[in-house]
Amino acid sequence: MTDLPLALRRLTFALLVLSLTALLLWLAVRVLAPGGWTPWEMLTLACFAGTAPWTALCAANALVGGVILLRAPSPPAAVLPALRRARPGAPALRTAIAVCIRAEEMGTVLPPLARLLDGLEAAGATDRFILWFLSDTADPAAAAAEEGAIAAFRRGGIAVRYRRRVENIGFKAGNVMDFLDRHAGDAELMLCLDADSEMTAPAVLRLIACMEADPQLAILQQLIVGRPATAAFPRLFQFGMRAGMRAWATGQAWWQGPEGPYWGHNAVIRIEPFRRHCRLEPLPDGSPILSHDQVEAVRLHAAGWKVCCLPVEEGSMEGNPPALPEFMARDLRWAAGNMQYWDLLWLPGQTWMGRWQLVQAILLFLGAPLWCGVLAFAALNAATGGGGATPDGWLLAWMLATWAMLHAPKLVGYAEVLLQPRLAARYGGRRAFLRGAAAELGFTTLLDPISTVNKALFLLALPFGGRRSGWAPQNRADRGVGWGDAARLLWPHTLFGLAVFGLLAAAGAAAWALPWAGGLLLAIPFCVLTSAPAVSAVLRDRRLAATPEELAPAAARA
């Protein structure tokens, strides 16, 4: 499977996605067609058809990734040839470690970097690295505090430098490019980290060894998993995310090959081609490109450079939003940036795979209003007497197939751990892992409809002057959310849920919507409880949804 030519891999994958899409649409027609077509059923099918390609893509990536994860002797090496040629030891190339900060709490930023520097120095690579803090902090008092903290952090060994921009032109992308133009010096590689990033020395040295093994690699992106979390929301969210990303990224790397993704951090970049090809001009309306990372990858694809993903999670972490409000705000920042890709799709000089990367990023958010349309039109159809001839068996099959395909990467990742005792042992054994997986699936069942409606509301308002987000300071600290704050944030989501269930209840069909929209009715208590210190303490005490890094922190960070 991994020996197939890249063109044949892509054809095989495309046929798999088309087949899965056809299966979903066939099931939808079997459910909606009996008794004739009402206008609401036609609208339901049209909206569902718009979501089907993304759903099929999820399943196809998971299926391919699962086969490789379970059958290949070394799954990462099976999809990244440079890993097979990489040589251990101190690197030959010089690397600038660039940490982008903006009004951060330096007490949480610095300790992971200290561990990274200690590991690199212990590996005999002191003279191959320099650590740079790239500040876009606007407030002078906050800037003085961060500069003081960094000055106190400096010690012997790997050199540490601080640079603060006076004007925050171009947000993070502008910050990085300004550094490369003015301060990178003789460094040939850059390790790009966010303020909440954490990487181990072995992980960094592995990435650099791959870059040295393949001079055509411009970006090598590693998987990023959540740091051990004390709050309930990120704890449950990242437990499922890491399982899904492992399967998704392995499958995607198999067919995308050297035209893979870049996620903006926890990646090593070859400075010369990045500086030459990734200078981002403003959009036609004069606004800066917000979601810069994938555009930078597409530019490098077009210039003939490789952008690859190393689907390994060990040694690469980040912080996740501490509560639902921060999670929703992050989603909207990403949505605003990804919707800008409409302006970039047809620019000349891109590869077709580069264009697909942009389309895929758009689809990640475009499905949200379509899913809301499926719910709304199905409810209106039931309330007006349509759907009476729908056979329950076909409806159940349609719902199960859609759910399984949407969650296929996560389900495959869970299966991989359960089928391999060595992996399950890192989570405390199969029983502990199953408890975490069950809790996460319940959490996701409630979270998904809230997140979907939130993105839909944002995207529907965007063409009419809705809020466009920039790169603003982020709250990364655990906090509780009060009932009043949750109600003010989530009343539209709750109202939409009440409308859908009210229509379905009138037709005696409300139970069918519980797995898809039940979270909307519970949005406010869900927000409060998943941020509540008492709930978080219960999860921590019971080690529910604990990650390997939490269970063995010393070993994980060695």
- Examine the pLDDT at 478 and tell me if it is beyond 70: no
Q: Which residues pair with 192 in a beta bridge?
A: 98, 267
Range 431-460 average pLDDT: 96
Helix (H, G, I), strand (E, B) or coil at 286: coil
- Examine the pLDDT at 503 and tell me if it is beyond 90: yes
Higher pLDDT, 479 or 43: 43
Contact 368, 276 (CB under 8 A): no
Angle at 408 between CA 375 and CA 306, to 5 degrees: 115
**Most distant CA atoms of the chain, gap in Å:** 78
Cβ-proximal residues to 279 (8 Å cutoff; 6+ apart), any chain? 177
Q: Tell me what percent of the residues of the chain surpass a pLDDT of 90.
A: 83
- Examine the pLDDT at 345 and tell me if it is beyond 50: yes
Predicted local confidence at residue 158, as pLDDT: 95
- Examine the pLDDT at 506 and tell me if it is beyond 70: yes
Contact 128, 496 (CB under 8 A): no
Higher pLDDT, 389 or 417: 417
Report which of 20, 73, 421, 79 is spatially closest to residue 246, judged by C-alpha positions.
79
- What pTM value is reported for the model? 0.92
Predicted local confidence at residue 462, as pLDDT: 81
Predicted local confidence at residue 310, as pLDDT: 97
Per residue in 320-342, pLDDT (tens digit) is: 999 999 999 999 999 999 999 99
Range 87-96 average pLDDT: 94
Start-to-end Cα distance in the chain: 35
User: What distance in Å separates the CA atoms of residue 292 and residue 280, rounded to the nearest whole number?
Assistant: 8
Helix (H, G, I), strand (E, B) or coil at 365: helix
Per residue in 292-306, pLDDT (tens digit) is: 999 999 999 999 999
Alpha helices in 257-389 (DSSP H): 271-277, 292-302, 324-339, 352-383
Q: Which of the listed ranges 31-40, 193-202, 390-399, 511-520 does the model predict with the highest average pLDDT?
A: 193-202
Q: How confident is the model at residue 1 (pLDDT cuts 50, 70, 90)?
A: low
Compute the mean pLDDT over every residue in the chain, rounded to the nearest whole number.
92
3-state secondary structure 7-73: HHHHHHHHHHHHHHHHHHHHHHHHHHCCCCCCHHHHHHHHHHHHHHHHHHHHHHHHHHHHHHHHHCC
Which range among 421-425, 471-475, 541-545 shows the weakest confidence by mean pLDDT? 471-475
Predicted local confidence at residue 553, as pLDDT: 65
Rounded to 10°, the helix 232-256/324-339 angle is 30
> What strands, in cross-sheet order, belong to the sheet with 198-199?
198-199, 316-318, 225-226
Predicted local confidence at residue 555, as pLDDT: 42
Angle at 540 between CA 538 and CA 546, to 5 degrees: 130
Per residue in 7-57, pLDDT (tens digit) is: 999 999 999 999 999 999 999 999 998 888 999 999 999 999 999 999 999
Q: How confident is the model at residue 473 (pLDDT cuts 50, 70, 90)?
A: very low
Q: Which fold has domain 79-322?
A: Spore Coat Polysaccharide Biosynthesis Protein SpsA; Chain A (3.90.550)
Q: How confident is the model at residue 554 (pLDDT cuts 50, 70, 90)?
A: very low
In degrees and rounded to multiples of 5, residue 228 shows phi and psi of: -50, 125
